[in-house]
Amino acid sequence: MTTRYAALRVVVLAHEDMNLLDLTGPVQTLFTASRRHGASAQALYDVSVASEAGGLITTSSGLQVMTVALATLEGLTIDTIIAPGGCKGDEYYTPPALVAWIRRRAPGVRRLCSVCTGAFLLAAAGQLDGRRVATHWEWAGRLQQAYPAIEVDPDRIFIRDGAVWTSAGVTAGIDLTLALVEADFGHKVAIDTARQLVMFMKRSGGQSQFSAPLLAQAAEYDDFVELHAWVAAHLDQDLRVERLADYVNMSPRNFARVYLAKAGRTPARMVETLRLEAARRMLEETDLPLKRIALLTGHADEQNLRRTFVRCMGVTPGAYRDRFSAHDAVI
């Protein structure tokens, strides 16, 4: 580990009704990285949890967190600001004092980050205009509507756009923070931190939020719950729209129309998503050859599997396996 002259100062903002894990996930990740790899008298990160007035903040779970006042940070150099999310109800309230503080301090920091609906804080402070950002899939539409100058991606775990890093909800804040650790101190430190946190793997920002919108649609529209389960169990078969329509006793044309209206995506996109997820799991959890994975997941051959991964994930299946698999790959 290369010795640094000073720990990187990270300020995690806090406010009433915030999500507890949005805060504790990043804080614990930074602490673990420091404990595992910092020098005996020098931590990697100096973390402060700050609120407008300081003192106890009550999170949405009811647990209280002790914070320092923003005023105590005056005159201090801040490397990274992290804005966690969380609120009561269906409308996100952006505390004016935090918005004003972010707007004032943002130009002087190296990185500006948000977890979940913390993106609303950064957006209200004018820090996300013209940027591509992530947030919790359930809030993506509301963020896009409230701030049309932002490009909201509802499916990514986290996104880096220049000096601004944004993540999806709750546990995705840990993935984002591990990426920050990796950017600061390298892949080995980040992976070792993830292992110490007993995380299944260190997920990349390009990964989907486990297709949460698709799962939510399946739960909301009982019409297609059985269809989705059947498709997931028959990924290696012919799953053209005619076959799916036959399963639900509808004409192909009517099925395609109804499915799109209710699920918000075409049947073909649903099939592609489930096949991609199955392939990802096999790459992560097995040592099966790529050719075999392609056959089992309905991609027919390795080239089709590769094309799908590059288009949807931005990486090849082999590169994905190298990064996330717990097994020795068999090509």
Section 93-100 average pLDDT: 94
Residues 173, 176: Cα–Cα separation, whole Å: 5
Half-sphere exposure of 201 (CA within 13 A, CB side): 17
For residues 22 and 138, state if they share a domain: yes
Q: Would you state the pLDDT for residue 206?
A: 53
77-91, 93-107, 211-225 — which is least confidently predicted?
Answer: 211-225
φ/ψ (deg, to 5) at 131: -110, 155
Two structure tokens written together for 91: 């409308």
Assess if residue 125 is contained within a domain: yes
Section 123-141 average pLDDT: 95
CATH number of the domain bearing residue 131? 3.40.50.880
Number of domains the chain contains? 2
For residues 166 and 296, state if they share a domain: no
Two structure tokens written together for 286: 């097995």
pLDDT at 215 over 70: no
264: left (phi over 0), alpha (psi -120 to 50) or beta: left
Write the DSSP string, 210-227. Answer: TTHHHHHHHHH-GGGHHH
Section 123-148 average pLDDT: 95
Residues 263, 220: Cα–Cα separation, whole Å: 9
User: Scanning the structure block, which residue is given the tokens 């409230």?
Assistant: 146
Residues 328, 331: Cα–Cα separation, whole Å: 10
Report helix, strand or coil for 41. Answer: coil
Assess if residue 26 is contained within a domain: yes
C-alpha dist (Å) from residue 4 to 1, 37, 309, 319: 9, 12, 38, 31
CATH number of the domain bearing residue 305? 1.10.10.60
For residues 285 and 226, state if they share a domain: yes
Provide the domain limits for residue 95: 8-196
Assess if residue 237 is contained within a domain: yes
> Is pLDDT larger for residue 268 or for residue 229?
268
Q: Would you state the pLDDT for residue 223?
A: 72
Section 286-304 average pLDDT: 95
Residue 212 pLDDT level (bands cut at 50, 70, 90): very low
For residues 18 and 148, state if they share a domain: yes
Regarding beta strands 111-115 and 164-167, do their DSSP bridges make them parallel or antiparallel, or are they unpaired? Answer: parallel
